[in-house]
A and B are shown apart, each in its own frame.
Chain A
Amino acid sequence: MSAWLKKTGVAPWMVVLAAALLLAPLVADRGTLNDLWSVAFAVVLASAWNLLGGFAGQISLGYSAFVGIGAYTTVLLANAGWNPWLTLPVGAVLAVLFSVVVGLPTFRLRGPYFSIATIGVSEAVRVIASGMEFTGGSSGLRMPSANFHFLSNYYGMAGLALLTVGLVAWVRVSAFGMALEAIRQDIDAAEALGIHSTRYKLLAHALSAALVGAGGGLFAMNFQYISPGSVFDFPLSLRIVLMPIVGGIGTLVGPVLGAVLFGYLQIKLLASPTLRDWNLFIYGGLLMAVMLFEPRGIVGIWERLRRLWRRRAPPTLEASGGA
Chain B
Amino acid sequence: MAPEPILEVRGVGKRFGGLVALDGVSFRVEQGSIFSVIGPNGAGKTTLFSCLVGSQKPTSGSIRFKGKEIAGLRNDQVVARGVVRTHQVVRPFRDMTVVENVSVGALFGTHQRRGAEARARVAAVLERAGLASRAQALARTLTIGELKRLEIARALATEPEVLCLDEVMGGLNPSEIEGAMQLIREIRSSGITVLMIEHHVHAVLGVSDRVMVLNFGKAIAEGEPLQALRDPAVVAAYLGNDVEGAPG
Chain A interface residues toward B at CB < 8 A: 175, 178-179, 181-182, 185-186, 188-197
The CA-CA distance from A185 to B158 in the complex, in Å, is: 19
Please give the distance in Å from B121's CB to the nearest CB on chain A: 13
Query: Quick check: A186 and B76 within 8 Å, CB to CB?
Result: no
Interface bracket on B: 20 to 34
Please give the distance in Å from A90's CB to the nearest CB on chain B: 33
Query: Quick check: A194 and B87 within 8 Å, CB to CB?
Result: no
Please give the distance in Å from A218's CB to the nearest CB on chain B: 35
Also in contact, A175 and B114, with CB within 8 A (given A193-B84, A196-B74): yes
Question: Given contacts A193-B154, A194-B76, could you give 14 more A-B pairs where the C-beta distance is less than 8 Å?
Answer: A175-B108, A181-B93, A182-B104, A186-B91, A186-B92, A188-B91, A189-B87, A192-B87, A193-B84, A193-B108, A194-B108, A195-B104, A195-B108, A196-B74
- Give me the 7 closest cross-chain CB pairs, A-B, nearest first: A194-B79, A189-B91, A194-B108, A185-B93, A191-B75, A196-B76, A175-B107
The CA-CA distance from A158 to B165 in the complex, in Å, is: 52
Q: Which residue of A lies closest to B77 (CB)?
A: A196
Comparing B94-102, B127-135, B206-214, the segment that makes contact with chain A is B94-102
The CA-CA distance from A179 to B108 in the complex, in Å, is: 8
Query: Quick check: A192 and B53 within 8 Å, CB to CB?
Result: yes
Which residues of chain B in 63-112 are interfacial with respect to chain A, using CB atoms and an 8 Å cutoff? 74-77, 79-80, 84-85, 87, 91-96, 100, 103-105, 107-110, 112
B26 within 8 A of A: no
B147 within 8 A of A: no
* Secondary structure of the A contact surface, majority rule: helix
Please give the distance in Å from A2's CB to the nearest CB on chain B: 22
- With beta carbons under 8 angstroms apart, the residue of A181, A188, A193 that contacts B79 is A193
A-B contact pairs, 5 of them (CB 8 A): A178-B107, A192-B91, A193-B108, A195-B104, A196-B76
Return chain A residues, CB-CB under 8 Å to B53.
192
Return chain B residues, CB-CB under 8 Å to A179.
104, 107-108
B55 within 8 A of A: yes
The CA-CA distance from A298 to B74 in the complex, in Å, is: 39
Give a binary string over B113-132; 1 marks a CB under 8 Å from any A CB, 0 the rest.
01000000000000000000
Return chain A residues, CB-CB under 8 Å to B105.
193-194
The CA-CA distance from A193 to B53 in the complex, in Å, is: 10
Q: Which residue of B lies closest to A250 (CB)?
A: B95
B229 within 8 A of A: no
Return chain A residues, CB-CB under 8 Å to B158.
193-194
Query: Quick check: B91 and A194 within 8 Å, CB to CB?
Result: no
Return chain A residues, CB-CB under 8 Å to B112.
194
Return chain A residues, CB-CB under 8 Å to B75.
191-192
The CA-CA distance from A189 to B93 in the complex, in Å, is: 8
